[in-house]
Chain A
Amino acid sequence: EAGVAQSPRYKIIEKRQSVAFWCNPISGHATLYWYQQILGQGPKLLIQFQNNGVVDDSQLPKDRFSAERLKGVDSTLKIQPAKLEDSAVYLCASSLSRGEKTDTQYFGPGTRLTVL
């Protein structure tokens, strides 16, 4: 079974530029998550999708961050314009969500963003 795929693996941009990350979850997984992991910290949830609807985006900086999940499969996370403090690893995860109280989340390899 293929795991969660993410691209690109690394990205370096200047501040005020825009950047987009892509995630392909495990086939059949209904729930998709984007996390931000700043160096030395644990991952922090940015947004959670159930199929193509947003479940939780309370910690997403909506003035510069946006995310979508078209057709309930792939997802993109965009930052526009980027700030220095956005330098982090962006992790995508997915879970089956069969209606059980909780599902194991499976993580992708992440995208390391450096903002100069």
Chain B
Amino acid sequence: AQTVTQSQPEMSVQEAETVTLSCTYDTSESDYYLFWYKQPPSRQMILVIRQEAYKQQNATENRFSVNFQKAAKSFSLKISDSQLGDAAMYFCAYMEYGNKLVFGAGTILRVKS
């Protein structure tokens, strides 16, 4: 079974600085998708960014970018110019064909003003 590991239970970043959240996964598949979801205290899960495994180019969405290392099965999220609104729980997730999502345990991100 596929597994997703987020080794950082909690991270802190100063407002306007950059922070990187780590994620590793285990799979024997070659074609899959990876996601980062944000879950603020209100609990509504929001998609931040997605990466398709067959694409070598790292995905970016405004201040959010990923470092996708397929051989190492690593998928980290970089948040640039951190804002107070970025404070949330961040989940890394793996999806294979059939749309089944497997989530990591999450990383709490705290943003200091």
The residues of A with any CB-CB pair to B shorter than 8 Å are 3, 31, 33, 40-45, 48, 55-56, 89, 91, 93, 95, 97, 101-110, 112
On whether the beta carbons of B33 and A102 are closer than 8 Å, the reply is yes
Instruction: Work out how many contacts link A and B, with CB atoms closer than 8 A.
Output: 57
The answer to whether A43 and B103 touch (CB under 8 A), given A56-B98, A109-B43, is yes
Prevailing SS type, chain B contact patch: strand
7 contacts between A and B (CB under 8 A): A33-B101, A43-B103, A106-B47, A107-B45, A110-B43, A110-B44, A112-B43
The answer to whether A41 and B97 touch (CB under 8 A), given A107-B44, A108-B44, is no
On whether the beta carbons of A45 and B98 are closer than 8 Å, the reply is no
Q: Is B91 positioned at the interface, with any CB of A under 8 Å from its CB? A: yes
**Bound Cα distance from A97 to B101, whole angstroms:** 14
Chain B: CB-nearest residue to A45: B100
**Bound Cα distance from A112 to B42, whole angstroms:** 11
Among B4, B42, B43, which residue has the most Cβ atoms of chain A within 10 A?
B43
**Bound Cα distance from A89 to B91, whole angstroms:** 15
On whether the beta carbons of B44 and A56 are closer than 8 Å, the reply is no
